[in-house]
Amino acid sequence: MKRFLVLFISTLLIATLSICASAAEDDLSSLTNIIVPTVNDLLDGKLSRRVSASDVNYDDAFKIYVGVNVFKMDTVNVDEMKNALEDGGYIYEIPLYIDGDTVLVDIAIGKPLDESVEFTEEERQKVLANVGKWQVTTVKFYNDEIVNYTTEISNKIGKIPEGTILVGGLPRFRYAVALIPNEKDEVVGLLPLSDIPGVDNIRALRSAGQSYYDYKETRKYINQLPPLNPDEAGGFGFLDTEAPASSNTFPYKLIIIVTAVFAAGVVFFVHRRKTKITD
């Protein structure tokens, strides 16, 4: 029995570590003194108690790549994709679990000033002062809900393959998706981690017998779509598309922007309602 438990725990750890970031590669520890008062001030009266330093666990952080559109990459090799994504930039999402509620704190590194963007002198100086520094950019509050990407993904696909990566900011999806590799280290699946408007219109892209979308088919389909008007359909989703033809046969809260400047002056996160992944 003990041997079984050890094996089970080891398997669970492998699955968890495959998408949980090791925040040790970036020293975020100094942010605790910023995270705690920021969350307490912004969510005053919404949490059952005040957040303390003991609620901040950097081992729970999720690393989400945000600077590269992988749909424009020819490769599906997960290592090659990851190398390009590392160069493009990433954020951390740190979950705080408070008596059945979840607070997601987004951490991003300050980017150089984009001279093409108009700033007030105060905003300009703030951007310049934060270049190269990790900072709190967004706080998301989910009442009476536990938000854990590891649990959500494993509930859908079982054991999470090593090499699975989280990517945000992709066309039509915008929020984090999981890219699922196979045993050959090739990305074969895409699993959204939030509701997507009009997602029924891409149901034909589902991989046979799987809960995720076929990555190559999805990439091909999205690359042939016209750019979305950011003023329509919330700026993402598939409400303006028809079900795609496929060469394969498939079966049938509260968000607070803490820092308005991220990645060369562009606000990355907008309002989202988080829900469980559904078929």
* pLDDT tens for each residue of 76-134: 999 999 999 999 999 999 999 999 999 999 999 988 888 888 889 988 898 898 898 99
Nearest to 168 by CA among 26, 60, 263: 263
Nearest to 168 by CA among 68, 267, 57: 68
| Chain centroid, CA 242 distance in Å | 26
Q: Cα–Cα distance between 229 and 223 in angstroms, integer?
A: 15
Task: Determine whether 227 is exposed, middle or buried from the number of CB atoms within 10 Å of its CB (0-12, 13-18, 19+).
Answer: exposed
Summarize pLDDT for 11-47 with one digit per residue, the tens. 344 444 456 655 557 889 999 999 999 999 999 999 9
Q: CA 272, CA 193: separation in Å to the nearest integer? A: 12
Q: What is the pLDDT of residue 253?
A: 64
pLDDT at position 173: 87
Chain centre to alpha carbon of residue 33: 24
Q: Give the pLDDT score at 226.
A: 83
Residue, of 137 and 279, whose pLDDT is higher: 137
Say yes or no to pLDDT of 235 above 60: no
**Surface-to-core class of residue 201, CB atoms within 10 Å of its CB (0-12 exposed, 13-18 middle, 19+ buried):** middle
Average pLDDT rounded to a whole number, residues 263-277: 35
Comparing 176 with 233, which gets the higher pLDDT?
176
The pLDDT mean for the chain works out to 80
* pLDDT score of 12: 42
Whole-angstrom distance, CA of residue 77 vs CA of residue 177:
17
**Sheet containing 213-214: which strands, arranged edge to edge?**
213-214, 187-192, 177-181, 165-167, 62-65, 90-98, 101-109, 134-142, 254-257
Instruction: Using pLDDT thresholds of 50, 70 and 90, give the confidence band for residue 225.
Output: confident
- 135-158 tens-digit pLDDT: 999 999 999 999 999 999 999 999
In this predicted structure, the answer to whether residue 183 has a pLDDT above a threshold of 80 is yes
Identify the burial level of 141 via C-beta atoms within 10 angstroms of its C-beta, where 0-12 means exposed, 13-18 middle and 19 or more buried. buried
At 123 the pLDDT is 86
| Strand 165-167 to 62-65 pairing | parallel
The first and second tokens of residue 30, run together, are 């100094």
pLDDT at 113: 84
Q: How far apart are CA 270 and CA 259, in angstroms?
A: 12
